[in-house]
Amino acid sequence: MTRIIACALATLAPLPALALSCLPHSVEATYQRAAKAEESYVVVQGRLTFDASALPKGGTIGINPPEETPIRAQISGKALSEGGFDVPFDQPLTLNVQCFGPWCGSAEEGDVLAFLERKPDGAYALESNPCGGDLFGSPKPAMVDKVIACFQGAECTPVR
């Protein structure tokens, strides 16, 4: 009888919660990944604009949003060079919001620090995923300074 009760209770117990495990999202780690990539990247500090209603909504167990949602966007600001963020930059881009199962990347209009991939055709793309991707919203001055330091060859070890 005890076994029957134990089995019955086990079937009523909640299933383990699914969890998404990400490495810490840091400008140092993103900078290093972009620097090592075969693709070409431009780092821009500026204002991102897009239609926020096009962002995917996170799913629920068994109902997942699309794996990728491309959204037309615009970024206006300054690109990184040897002198810091001092090169005027105003370009359209594709904001590619990715979902891993029910978890989706996010983005907000406003001030950003963005690692833009420059495609072979000259177009720009920006990836946001549930673990952060290449986008940092409302960057703090220390983040901006760190990216400049990384670009200039200073210590660029990701924070763990």
pLDDT band at 61 (very low <50, low <70, confident <90, very high): low
pLDDT exceeds 60 at position 32: yes
Mean pLDDT of 60-81: 91
What digits encode the pLDDT tens for the residues 109-139?
999 999 999 999 999 999 999 999 999 999 9
For residue 88, is pLDDT > 80?
A: yes
pLDDT at 19: 63
In whole angstroms, how far apart are CA 21 and each of 100, 103, 104, 132, 147?
Answer: 11, 11, 13, 12, 25
What pLDDT, on a 0 to 100 scale, did the predictor assign at position 18? 53
Both tokens assigned to 66: 């699309």
Give the pTM.
Answer: 0.84
pLDDT-derived band at 38 (thresholds 50, 70, 90) equals very high
Alpha-carbon span 149 to 58, nearest angstrom: 36
Contact 116, 75 (CB under 8 A): yes
Reported as a pLDDT band with limits 50, 70 and 90, residue 5 is very low
